[in-house]
Structures are given as C-alpha cells and as structure tokens.
Structure 1
Amino acid sequence: MAKALPYLNAENLKRAPARRYNATVVQRQADKLYVQFVEQVHGKIAQQLRGEQSQQAWLRRIEQNNLLEELEDSMAELNFDSEE
C-alpha cells in the first residue's frame, strides 16, 4: 500500500482535470490491488499444498520455504513505475 497509493495518485494526476478521481476512489483502487495481491499469494500457496488445507500444513509450507522473508523481499523490490 505504501507504494501503491503514490503510484495511483501520480497516475490520477495524469488524467484530465475533469476526469480525475477523488481520494476515496483512489483508495478503493489501492484496496482492490491489495485484495488481488493477497488472493494471488493465497492461491499459489494453496496450489502447492495440493488439497492439504490444515493450518499446520500452511504453517509448515510457509516456514519450510521462508515465504514471509521472500514475500517481504519481493515487496521491497516492487516498482509500480516499470509496469506500464
């Protein structure tokens, strides 16, 4: 979110003044990006578990693959400007 909001605000400023979104719409867009991100991460982990959906299976997969650290590193490297 710390990187998404500035990016979305910058993109909004590129729009014609009459077509710019208000802050609430920009926040909703950022929230939507966040939800999509979480759903993608959840889906990828669930896919690796192959049907084993217990809490212990999730924790084991997260710990064995250092997923939290990898995710944190990926988010630190994320750059919205290069996605155009």
Structure 2
Amino acid sequence: MSEKWSKPVEVAFGVSGYRTVTGPFDAMIVLTDLWPKRSGLRFIKARNACSAAIAGRIGAEDARREFLAAAEEAELSTH
C-alpha cells in the first residue's frame, strides 16, 4: 500500500457529504468513484500522479499537490 500524506485532505461532495482522503490510494478511489468533473487537465494529472505515487515513482506529497489542484479545478471545497 502507498504511503500516507502528511496532512489528510477533507473534500466536500455536496449532498454526498465530506470524504477524508489520507493518501494516494484513497485519492484514486475518490477520483474514480466520486469526482464530478473527470475531463479536466488537473483531474488527469492528479489521477496520473496518484497512480505514480502508489507505484513508488513519485512522492506522496507530489500527488497531494496534484489532488488539491484537481479539487480546485472541480470547484470542490477542501479542508
């Protein structure tokens, strides 16, 4: 399993509520199952970064930055 992020990200999904994302593996699940906008450039970059982090090709914090950028692109609130 991939490493965890130094600080989890809480993402608001409207009526679906909040989801706490603790690392690249959780992020891939959220990106696959809950993401509202799957065609944006930041979404694609986040998905690729999380996949690379799971495989150990990049650091988990790099994937976290891409995930946050994708959330901003999708206009999702994060904490």
Does TM, scored on the shorter chain, surpass 0.5?
Answer: no
The structure carrying a bigger helix percent of its residues is 1
Larger radius of gyration: 1
User: Greater relative contact order (Cα 8 A, min sep 6): structure 1 or 2?
Assistant: 2
| TM-score with structure 1 setting the length | 0.30
